């Protein structure tokens, strides 16, 4: 095991979404077992883990089986509603890898190790790839905005290659398995290389749609024009 990793026991929340470090994730907590989990996290000011479901459902008696790589998330805001449910806003902090699943509580837990990205062997090459990803994801958002008939101002992109990699992963409206592949990548080089391939594919498709005016109906935006996750 890498010296930079840390092993902890972590409550897990299997969802049909992929969360990346730095990403904001609002959640409506209505199942009793997850209300218990969130109350414990709030009481201890402790994180929980968001993991993509591999098999099973988000709700129901059976606990879903997750993919092995997820993201630690911290609760930054919580609201208790009159019907007993809760609304929380969380922010992803860092990746983790599940070593062992624990099913000793009403909700899923895991013995996990933190899974930081290793320092790149060739920082100049990584910075060059990040510059290309930054340009392509900016163009991607512009094309998505055109598809939805919205005016979206693209803010200043993050500077560090790792931030660029995670931004692109969040922004792309791609299959969840492809997003999970990005999250589980072994290195930043691998993330950026995969993103260049995906962005080339998506931008080519969106450019063709712009020319033919044949737009898909699955592009989703929030009230303020922000991209919604798949």
Sequence ranges of the domains in the chain: 7-114, 123-212
Q: How far is CA 175 from CA 16, 41, 101, in A?
A: 11, 30, 25
**CATH class label, 7-114:** mainly beta
Query: Which single residue is written with the structure tokens 């098999």?
Result: 55
| Window from 58-72, 131-145, 214-228 with minimum mean pLDDT | 214-228
Predicted local confidence at residue 4, as pLDDT? 55
Please classify residue 101 by burial: count the beta carbons closer than 10 Å to its beta carbon, then call 0-12 exposed, 13-18 middle and 19+ buried.
middle
Predicted local confidence at residue 211, as pLDDT? 79
Predicted local confidence at residue 57, as pLDDT? 63
Averaged pLDDT score across all residues of the chain? 87
pLDDT band for position 208 (cuts 50, 70, 90): confident
Q: Which residues contact 199 (CB under 8 A, 6 or more apart)?
A: 133, 136, 137, 140, 168, 172
Provide the whole-model pTM: 0.86
Q: Which long-range contacts (CB under 8 A, 24 or more apart) does 53-61 make?
A: 53/14, 53/15, 53/16, 56/14, 58/14, 58/15, 58/16, 59/31
Token pair of 70 as six digits:
């997820």
Predicted local confidence at residue 153, as pLDDT? 66
pLDDT per position as a tens digit, 133-156:
999 999 999 888 887 777 666 666
CB-CB contact of 57 with 64 (8 Å): yes
Within the chain, strands assigned E span 7-15, 24-29, 48-55, 65-66, 69-80, 86-102, 109-114
Q: Give how far the C-alpha of residue 154 lies from the chain's centroid of Cα atoms, to the nearest Å.
A: 20
Distance CA 144, CA 230 (A): 14
């Amino acid at each position: 095991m890498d010296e930079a990793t840390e092993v902890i026991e972590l409550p897990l929340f299997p969802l049909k979404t992929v969360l990346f470090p730095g990403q904001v994730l609002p959640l409506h907590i209505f199942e009793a077992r997850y209300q218990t989990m969130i109350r414990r996290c709030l009481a201890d000011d402790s994180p929980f883990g968001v993991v993509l479901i591999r098999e099973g459902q988000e709700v129901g008696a059976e606990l879903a089986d997750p993919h092995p790589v997820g993201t630690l998330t911290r609760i930054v805001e919580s609201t208790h509603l009159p019907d007993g449910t809760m609304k929380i806003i969380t922010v992803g902090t860092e990746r983790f890898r599940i070593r062992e699943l624990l099913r000793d509580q009403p909700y899923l837990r895991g013995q996990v190790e933190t899974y930081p990205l290793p320092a790149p062997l060739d920082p100049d090459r990584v910075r060059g790839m990040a510059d290309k990803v930054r340009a392509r994801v900016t163009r991607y958002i512009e094309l998505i905005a055109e598809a939805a008939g919205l005016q979206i101002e693209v803010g200043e992109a993050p500077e560090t290659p790792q931030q660029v990699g995670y931004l692109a992963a969040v922004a792309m409206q791609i299959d969840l398995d492809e997003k999970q592949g990005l999250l589980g990548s072994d290195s930043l080089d691998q993330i950026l290389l995969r993103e260049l391939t995906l962005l080339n594919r998506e931008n080519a498709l969106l450019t063709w749609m712009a020319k033919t005016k044949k737009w898909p109906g699955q592009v989703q935006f929030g009230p303020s024009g922000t991209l919604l996750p798949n």
